[in-house]
Amino acid sequence: MKKLLFIIGMILLLVACSSSSEEVETKEDIESDEEEAAEVLEGPYLDEEDVEEIYDDGYEEGLEKTTDDPLEFVEEGKSGLILIDGFNEYVANNYYVTDDTDEDGFNTYEDSGFKMRYAIIETENIADVEVQGSKDLQIFGEIINDTENDYRFDDGIVLLRTDENEKTELRYGFNGAGGANQKSKFVDGFSLEYGIPDSFTLEVLEPTMIDIGEAFEEETGLDEFDNEEELKTFIEENKVIDKEFTKE
């Protein structure tokens, strides 16, 4: 009987020790998890300045540098800067230049308090929408108008002749940029049916003439539809930009 009681006691002791061991292991596991969690919480993190630095520096961990400023895009598009314009995202494929184009890609027209800086770039739309991969010929820039006159670039005032003998105009006339005593930036493009040209001639008529036909009739007293040759001469005389552009 004593022997049986001894055996039962030993079994109970072993069970108690096993249970205690499991409790110790469980406690150690918990402490280890808590230490790992503490390390994560105390570890390096990005504050607001770090985030701004990432975007200022450009690329880090897959983040791409973007802007909605057309002037900045002209200056840094060659370095991979992406322009965000509404739902569109543009990268610069090719710049078009003349002998007067500056190192940033800008051309300048200036006259008596009016100044226009502009660059013409072949762009590609990389937005994740139906337009992804589409290429375009676009113009970006800034107009500073310190005069009392409204300057407008629509109704056939800006013309483009490509190497395919195609003529086209601005799509949106710089969206009204050029009002009296205003400074504004613009993004616009040309509708092309025959692809992106290697070269073209850009013609800009006197921008104070909002409607070239009306200006012709007022100055000459002739009807624009009955005097086509005289109208052509009038247009030639009122060009303020007539430049040949080629891919850089």
- Token code pair at residue 44: 């390096």
Q: Return the pLDDT at 229.
A: 95
* SS3 of residue 100 by DSSP: coil
172 found inside a domain: yes
Above pLDDT 90, what percent of the chain?
Answer: 54
15 found inside a domain: no
**How many structural domains compose the chain?**
1
130 found inside a domain: yes
In the predicted structure, residue 69 carries a pLDDT above the cut 60: yes
Q: What is the pLDDT of residues 21-35, one digit of tens each?
A: 444 445 555 555 555
- Residue 191 domain boundaries: 93-247
What is the arithmetic mean of pLDDT over 60-83?
Answer: 88
pTM tops 0.85? no
> Which band of pLDDT confidence, cut at 50, 70 and 90, is reported for residue 159?
confident
169 found inside a domain: yes
From 183, 179, 157, 161, select the one nearest 170 (Cα to Cα). Answer: 157
> Which band of pLDDT confidence, cut at 50, 70 and 90, is reported for residue 189?
very high
139 found inside a domain: yes
CATH (domain of 138): 2.60.40
Alpha helical stretches, state H, the chain: 2-42, 48-57, 70-76, 212-220, 228-237
Above pLDDT 70, what percent of the chain?
Answer: 73
What is the arithmetic mean of pLDDT over 181-186?
Answer: 94
Contact 233, 81 (CB under 8 A): no
Q: Which residues pair with 32 in a beta bridge?
A: none
> Which band of pLDDT confidence, cut at 50, 70 and 90, is reported for residue 47?
low
What is the arithmetic mean of pLDDT over 221-230?
Answer: 95
What is the arithmetic mean of pLDDT over 50-55?
Answer: 49
**DSSP labels, 33-88:** HHHHHHHHHHS----HHHHHHHHHH--BTTB--EES-HHHHHHHGGGTPEEEETTE
22 found inside a domain: no
Contact 85, 52 (CB under 8 A): no
Q: What is the pLDDT of residues 82-133, one digit of tens each?
A: 999 999 999 999 999 999 999 999 999 999 999 999 999 999 999 988 888 8
